[in-house]
Structure 1
Amino acid sequence: MIFYVFLDGVGMADFDPKSNPFSRFAKGFLAPVGGIPKTDVDLPISPSRLHYIKTDAHMGVPGLPQSATGQTALWTGIPGPKVLDRHVSGFPTITLRKIIAKYSLIKVLNENGHLSDFLNCFSPPYLKHVEEKPKLVSASTLVQLASGRPLKTFDDLANGRGLYMDLTHEIMGTLGIDMLKPGDPLLEKRDPYELGKKSISMFANYKLTLYEYFLTDKVGHAMDWEKAEHIIKNLEAFFYGVLESIDPEKDLLIVSSDHGNMEDLSQKNHTENPAATILYGKDADRFAENIHSLADIVPEIYKTFGMEEALHNTKANEFLMKSD
């Protein structure tokens, strides 16, 4: 199984505790993002098997990398910035939506018999928003909808079929969601380490699962050191659990980002830093050798499943040909 975790707005940068919260707070899995050698961190596995890759988020287009174009590249294999000749923030444009509708990773995998799913579970208000304003939704939502599979709900979350946006459910009690009454089990805080340990077995029936964590980008824009410390602690506990339970001979962990941001809290904008990609497990060496930009991850996934036609179609896509 491929466990594909997306951390929004995390770039690779030099060690600098004055500006980089990963340099200051990370002790384990995310410490190398802050310029700390992987040999100096607390991990349940040999650090030599982990790959930390500085990944090009520009894809040949100058300017600050942005979410809509970067995420399109991450989840279709088609470099959104190169197609549009610009970086696009927020919601995908008409062209990006067309790319995702045809080349969504989850869609293509399922069409080829490899059961795949988007793990994020959503509240009733968000699901209503998607229904009423389908043009104002994120790339990840579109990637799932393109596959024909439904977005996961709070019922899925309650029954262990997905994950919440902050992993621990701490935020859930602050959202004012009317359907959740005091004492609802969904309001109970989850232990990120235990959740990480269970995640591989929870979703073992899939060939690939995608999970999106976007609080990193929000913290970066807010320049919030206190929240940065908290989410780094939670994420590292989660990944420690994942690394303890994953079988590197059968499973692959991919952690990716779309652009830099949170690694520099001295300013509130995205950065020019390369995006972080972290790999561990089956085929990680091959992935590490061939990943140079955000658009390189999906083709490597197709190679893992022997999907030569999908690989060809992605490389020969009509959108990139038009941009040339």
Structure 2
Amino acid sequence: MIFYVFIDGIGFGENDPEKNPFSRYAKGIFLPLGGKNLPPDSPPRLRELVYLRTDASMGIKGLPQSATGQTSLWTGINACRVLNRHMSGFPTFTLKRIIAKYSIVKILEERGFKADLLNCYTPGFTEHVKKNPRQVSASTLIQLAGNKSLKGMDDLRAGKGLYMDISRDFLRKFGRDYIDKEDPILEKQDPYKTGKEIVPAVRADHTLCIYEYFLTDKVGHKMSWTGAERCIEDLEEFLLGVLEAMDPEEDQLILTSDHGNLEDLSVDVHTLNSVPTILYGRYTEQMKDKILQLKDIPHAIYDCLGIELAMSEEEFIKVSGESEMADSKTSI
């Protein structure tokens, strides 16, 4: 099983605890994002990780952004080259066309593999999407493009999915309008335990599982040191649990991001820093020399699974500028 973890807005930063929370707070997997090496006494599986510096700009000037970056990560198309710019917010008309055709979930499902987005959504989110259909993230769209239902609270209760906030603090705060206050689903979660339990819960039924964590980007924009500390602690514990549950002969971890942000809290915008692609497991040797840019990750996965797929940005570049700009105004 390939476990593809997407963490929004993290990059390689300087060893400067005055501006880089990874330098100040990281104790495990994120130490290299703080300009530090993993210590020799780190858990064995952390020492086996391969860290790649991955280009989020992909040949286009300007600060990398979420809509184009995530579309590239989950389709294999250089979305910012198609638009000739980096696009923030939600996918636009052209980006939706790319996802509809080349969603990694769709590609795998059509070829007999099982792929799934593990994020579980509240009824409140479902209502929001119905009222605001343009405000749908790339991760949601890749699942829908694969003709797969979004996971909900029943999946979370059954241990078959994950909430966007690993400890579920946000669910307790914002989910009470939709969930009974006595529901065990609202209990605070141990990130390490969550990570260790999710791998065996989904391994047998899936070739690829995707999980999106976006609080890191929100915290970066708010320049919140308190929020950064909490995100880093939760994620490091969660990922350690994931690693310990993995069988390196059968499973593969891919962890990456769409652009830098959290590694520099001296500014409230994205950065030009390389983003990490962190590999562990079965396909690491096969993948590590093939991932240079965000768009390379789906292709590396396809190569490992023996999928041959020709695609080109050219088929999407001809979309009219008027349609794209009209849609982008409602998406940012």
TM bracket, shorter-chain basis = over 0.9
2:11 aligns with: 11
User: Residues of 1 paired with 2:37 and 2:139: CA distance?
Assistant: 32
Unpaired runs of at least 5, structure 2 = 321-332
- 1:64/1:113 CA distance change after superposition, 3 Å: same
Q: Residue by residue, what CA displacement relative to the aligned partner does 1:74-106 show, whole Å, maximum 9, x if unpaired?
A: 000001110100000001110000000000000
Q: Equivalent residues in 2 for 1:23-62 (5 A)?
A: 23-40=23-40, 42-45=42-45, 47=47, 49-62=48-61
User: In structure 1, which of residues 301, 315, 318 is the aligned counterpart of residue 315 of structure 2?
Assistant: 318
2:82 aligns with: 83
Give the conservation status (yes or no) of the 8 Å contact 2:161–2:198.
no
The one-letter code of the counterpart of 2:315 is E
Give identity over the alignment, percent. 51
Give the conservation status (yes or no) of the 8 Å contact 1:169–1:190.
yes
User: Residues of 1 paired with 2:114 and 2:175: CA distance?
Assistant: 34
Unpaired runs of at least 5, structure 1 = none
- 1:283/1:317 CA distance change after superposition, 3 Å: farther
1:257 aligns with: 257
* 1:222 CA drift (Å): 0.6
* 1:160 CA drift (Å): 1.3
1:307 aligns with: 307
* 1:303 CA drift (Å): 0.6
User: Residues of 2 paired with 1:34 and 1:316: CA distance?
Assistant: 34
CA RMSD for the aligned pairs? 1.6
Q: Equivalent residues in 2 for 1:55-134 (5 A)?
A: 55-134=54-133
* 1:171 CA drift (Å): 1.4
Give TM-score scaled by structure 1 length.
Answer: 0.95
Q: Residue by residue, what CA displacement relative to the aligned partner does 1:291-321 show, whole Å, maximum 9, x if unpaired?
A: 100000000000111001x2x2x35762268
The one-letter code of the counterpart of 2:213 is Y
DSSP 3-state at the match of 1:203:
helix
* 1:269 CA drift (Å): 0.4
Q: Residue by residue, what CA displacement relative to the aligned partner does 1:195-249 show, whole Å, maximum 9, x if unpaired?
A: 1111210111100000000000011001110111111111111111111111111
- 1:170/1:289 CA distance change after superposition, 3 Å: same
Q: Does 94-103 or 35-44 show the bigger shift?
A: 35-44
The one-letter code of the counterpart of 1:84 is L
Give TM-score scaled by structure 2 length.
Answer: 0.92
Q: Residue by residue, what CA displacement relative to the aligned partner does 1:118-158 show, whole Å, maximum 9, x if unpaired?
A: 00000111112223332211111111110100111111111
DSSP 3-state at the match of 1:160:
coil
User: Residues of 2 paired with 1:42 and 1:292: CA distance?
Assistant: 27
Runs in 1 of length 4+ with deviation above 4 angstroms? 320-323
Give the conservation status (yes or no) of the 8 Å contact 1:4–1:254.
yes
User: Residues of 2 paired with 1:24 and 1:41: CA distance?
Assistant: 19
The one-letter code of the counterpart of 1:57 is A
- 1:321/1:113 CA distance change after superposition, 3 Å: farther
* 1:72 CA drift (Å): 0.4
1:148 aligns with: 147
